[in-house]
Amino acid sequence: MHSVAYRSARLCYRAGRTVAKHTGFAGWFSDWTSPLHITRTLLRDALRQRTHYARGWLLDVGCGEKPYRELFPQVERHIGVDSLGSTPDVYGDGMYLPFRDCSFETVLCNQVLEHVPEPWKLMDEAARVLKPEGCLILTAPQTWDLHHVPFDYYRYTCFGLKFLAERSGLEVVEVVPTCGIWATVAQRVTDTITNTYLNGGQSFLVRKLIPAALAPVQIVGYRLDKWCGKRGDTLDYVLIARKRPTTADSAPVLTGHSA
């Protein structure tokens, strides 16, 4: 009986996949089966709405593989700095950036601050390497599970990010949530079930059906969030902060070693 049910379910899955492929539904629905689709979509949308703050030379702190590079085609240079697990332009530590003062018009820092044991040092460094009137574009999580353990130290509220920026002498332009409670709940439910039941060793059917079953959870949560507005807890915040005008200025100069 179990074998018959399994084969029947697998045939239904294949039939549904075939129909979806020929109706154009497959690509759209497939995106929603990714357990990180909500947070990645919201982060990208939030950054896309704020690309006008970026100009000149841009320093991408904790760049990884520069996943948001295409959002900033207007900058003159996009220089990535990171310390491990990637191929940056420059190897360095966000708490001790290997650049001179007032070297960049823009500093970009995405989902890095929670992994920095002394985040005020990274904020100080961002302020230091920014030119006067240059902008920091930073994202950080408020609600997320443990990741990159054991290098996962903090979660941030809008008030915490504002405090850190102002402590470093930056003028806060805006601190905005990427979503509200509905998208947050949908994303966390998806994460929890995925991390609990898709941790290796499952059958083909389970590996396919659980993401497909969770996709409607993400879709409904995302749509409810758009309808109800960004109320309550959020997944992430976007901080825009500007360095106040001074007479100091200089050309971007590297003091460390290129990759």
Structure tokens at 8: 């029947």
Which amino acid would we find at residue 184?
A: T
> Do 31 and 223 meet the contact criterion of CB atoms below 8 Å apart?
no
Q: What is the pLDDT of residues 12-55, one digit of tens each?
A: 445 345 434 544 555 678 889 888 999 999 999 999 999 999 99
**How far from chain centre, in Å, is Cα 215?**
20
Q: What pLDDT, on the 0 to 100 scale, is given for residue 196?
A: 84
Structure tokens at 17: 């996949």
More confident residue, 2 or 60: 60
> For residue 218, what are the contacts with CB-CB under 8 A and spacing of at least 6?
32, 37, 38, 186, 187, 190
Q: Which DSSP symbol is given to 205? A: H
> Do 122 and 164 meet the contact criterion of CB atoms below 8 Å apart?
no
3-state secondary structure of 234: coil
Listed residue (96, 161, 165, 99) closest to 135, CA to CA: 165
Q: What is the pLDDT of residues 211-256, one digit of tens each?
A: 888 999 999 999 999 999 899 999 999 999 999 997 544 455 565 5
> Do 131 and 102 meet the contact criterion of CB atoms below 8 Å apart?
yes
> Do 81 and 92 meet the contact criterion of CB atoms below 8 Å apart?
yes
Structure tokens at 152: 């996962």
Q: What is the pLDDT of residues 174-217, one digit of tens each?
A: 999 999 999 999 999 999 998 888 776 666 667 778 888 899 99
- Which of the four pLDDT bands, split at 50, 70 and 90, describes residue 83? confident
Q: What pLDDT, on the 0 to 100 scale, is given for residue 19?
A: 37
> Do 153 and 115 meet the contact criterion of CB atoms below 8 Å apart?
yes
